[in-house]
Chain A
Amino acid sequence: MRVGAQIDVAAPPELVWAFVTDPAKTLHFMSGVTRWEVVSAPDRGLGARYRTLMRVGSAEVGGLVETVEYDEPRDIAWTSVTGLDQRGRWRLRPTGPNRTRVELRLSYGVAGAGITGWLAEHVAAPTVRGNLRRSLMELRRQVEHEQARARAAARRAAAARP
């Protein structure tokens, strides 16, 4: 099952990139995600591994994932090593000066689970899709807030300069 969501953020891709690649920030904007724990020596980049969980229905599902694509500041993709089969992708594209289209995709399932797997994927889809949408809205709020804060700090610094 593949679900996705996208949103336009009033910030350059580099700033959005700084948020989505920082594992310390992930739990602050990812809705439904209860665990995003770094389990590899590099905490980001190609080969970085995370133990992830998202609450869906009556269970927290996820597993160990590994970053398999890291194209700064455009694409990050990860795939599951253990747990639920999943493949996710952040896709950042500039749509104008100081504007970025952010897309979050997630494919998931359990290979070999048959009809119950198919059914579970579809029953879970609205929850997962809702989590992705809320995550993007929260990401936009935090990124734009961070940008406004940085601009205000710069203005204050300029005003204080003799």
Chain B
Amino acid sequence: MPGTRTAAHNGHLAEALDDALGSAEPLRSPGLAERLVQAVAGQVRGRVPVADLDERDPDWIRESLPGLWLASSLWFRGEVRGLGNIPEEGPVLLVGNHSGGNMTPDTGVFILAFSTYFGVERRFHQLAHNLVLSMPGLGFLRKWGTVAASPENAEQALRSGAALLVYPGGDHEVHRPSWEGNTVNFAGRQGFIRLALEHDVPIVPVVAVGGQETALFLSRGEGLSKLLGLDRLLRLKVLPISIAIPWGLNIGDMLGHVPLPAKITIEVLPAIHLRDQFGAQPDVDEVYDHVTQTMQETLDALASERRLPILG
């Protein structure tokens, strides 16, 4: 597959796989499920694309915007506020809460809004789980500027002067149960703060509501993931269980689903300049509490505007 090859240096997934498959002692009489997982892990390892920021294609993004606009406007009735809070130029770390399972409609709505507001000429990258980028049929994500989530790729994007969208909550947050839909849950992950400090870039919180109404998310399935060894082999700490179209009971969400047409509202908050606000040596825990609390307050306000699930 063009543009993809085994990349031991490309993020944690490959390292984890190397550890698990290369140096680990042979599994004792693996069962069918475990053999299946190992086969998938092997496939994934071969498909993890090398991060190449040059794969972002502004012309392709521009031509894909009408399709994205149709989905965003007609299906999700997307509404994005406060884009003026994003600095007009220079690198910036956009930190979002993540919803909607593997379909993550809020990401599409935001990519559209950012691209039309600032123009496709402005460099804009997003970090995604390696598994997402290695899925067949999702190669187009790399043209949008999506790269595998790893500290190296994030640094590379910021060094290039790009705006970088990260979701610290990742798979833990995106598969949270629907009844926790209005909760920001970064699972204590603070790497984004160290990244912003290291590159001295502002953090701009991006708060979205509605994504967790696009299916009925029942459980992250953390126990199931552990039982099958997915956490060890694929860095997948979750095996989400949901009720979604067209599968009915949807375990894993590996093939995605048809998201319900829930209204997606996104609010971009004012930029946080860490050293201006927290001193020369900011306390990471204090910044983390500030960012998550500010985002939670905004999410509460956005949630209070909604009268009915899905309809908004």
- A contact residues vs B (CB 8 Å cutoff): 53, 56-64, 82-84, 110, 112-114, 116-117, 119-121, 123-124
Check B119–A57 contact: CB distance below 8 A: no
Closest to B79 in A: A58
Quick check: A59 and B69 within 8 Å, CB to CB?
yes
Partner of B66, one of A64, A82, A119: A119
Determine which of A58, A59, A112, A116 lies in contact with B67 in the assembled complex, contact meaning CB atoms within 8 Å.
Answer: A116
Contacting residues, chain A, for B72 (C-beta < 8 A)? 57-59
Q: Check B77 against A58 for contact (C-beta < 8 Å).
A: yes
Cβ-defined partner of B74 (8 Å) among A59, A60, A123: A123
Question: Are B65 and A113 in contact (CB-based, < 8 A)?
Answer: yes
Min CB distance A39 to B, Å, is: 11
B interface residues, Cβ below 8 angstroms from A = 59, 62-67, 69-70, 72-74, 76-80, 83, 109, 112-113, 116-117, 119, 121
Question: Most chain-A Cβ atoms within 10 A of its Cβ — which of B70, B78, B80, B113?
Answer: B70
Tell me the complex Cα distance, A119–B79, Å: 20
Q: Is the interface of B mostly helix, strand, loop or mixed?
A: helix
Are A60 and B69 neighbours in the complex by a CB distance under 8 Å?
A: no
Chain B residues lying within 8 Å of A57, measured Cβ to Cβ, are: 69, 72-74, 78
Which of B66, B83, B119 gathers most chain A CB within 10 Å? B66
Select from chain B the residue with minimum beta-carbon distance to A110.
Answer: B66
Determine if A110 and B73 form an interchain contact, defined as CB atoms under 8 angstroms apart: no
When the two chains form their complex, are residues A120 and B116 in contact, meaning their CB atoms are under 8 A apart? no
Find the residue from B69, B74, B79, B117 having the highest chain A CB count within 10 A.
B69
Q: How far is the CB of B264 from chain A (nearest CB, A)?
A: 8
- CA of A112 to CA of B64 in the docked complex: distance in angstroms? 9
User: In this complex, which of A53, A59, A83, A110 has the most chain B Cβ atoms within 10 angstroms of its Cβ?
Assistant: A59
- Contacting pair B63 A112 (CB below 8 A): yes
Assembled-state Cα–Cα distance A57/B72 (Å): 8
CB contacts (< 8 Å) of B59 on chain A: these are 112
Give the chain B neighbours of A123 by CB distance below 8 A: 70, 73-74
Q: Which residues on the B side are within 8 Å of A117 (C-beta)?
A: 63, 66
What 16 additional pairs, Cβ within 8 angstroms, besides A58-B76, A113-B66?
A56-B73, A57-B72, A57-B74, A57-B78, A58-B73, A58-B77, A58-B78, A58-B112, A61-B69, A82-B119, A116-B64, A116-B66, A117-B66, A120-B67, A121-B66, A123-B74
Task: Return chain A residues, CB-CB under 8 Å to B64.
Answer: 113, 116
16 A/B residue pairs, CB under 8 Å, sorted by A: A53-B117, A57-B74, A58-B69, A58-B73, A59-B73, A59-B117, A60-B83, A82-B119, A84-B116, A110-B65, A113-B64, A113-B66, A116-B66, A116-B67, A119-B66, A123-B73
Answer whether A83 and B69 are a contact pair too, CB < 8 Å, given A58-B76, A59-B80, A112-B63: no
Do B119 and A58 have beta carbons less than 8 Å apart?
A: no
Could you say which residues of chain A place their CB within 8 Å of the CB of B73? 56-59, 123
List residues of chain B with CB within 8 A of the CB of A121: 66
Q: Which of A61, A113, A119 contacts B116 (CB 8 A)?
A: A61
Q: What are the residues of chain A within 8 A of B113 when measuring CB–CB?
A: 58-60
**B70 lies within 8 A of A83 (CB):** no
Give the distance to chain A from B245, nearest Cβ to Cβ, in Å. 22
For residue B77, which residues in chain A have a CB less than 8 angstroms away from its CB? Answer: 58
In the bound assembly, the distance between CA atoms of A62 and B73 in angstroms comes to 16
Q: How far is the CB of B85 from chain A (nearest CB, A)?
A: 14
Given contacts A59-B73, A120-B69, contact A110 B117 (CB under 8 A): no
7 closest residue pairs by CB, A with B = A57-B73, A58-B78, A120-B66, A116-B67, A58-B72, A58-B73, A117-B66
Set of chain A residues within 8 Å of B65, measured between Cβ atoms = 110, 113
The answer for the CA separation of A113 and B68 in the assembled complex, in Å, is 11
With A and B bound together, what is the CA distance between A57 and B119 in angstroms?
Answer: 17
Q: How far is the CB of B83 from chain A (nearest CB, A)?
A: 7
Of B72, B80, B117, most buried by chain A (CB within 10 Å of CB) is B117
- B residues within 8 A CB of A62? 116
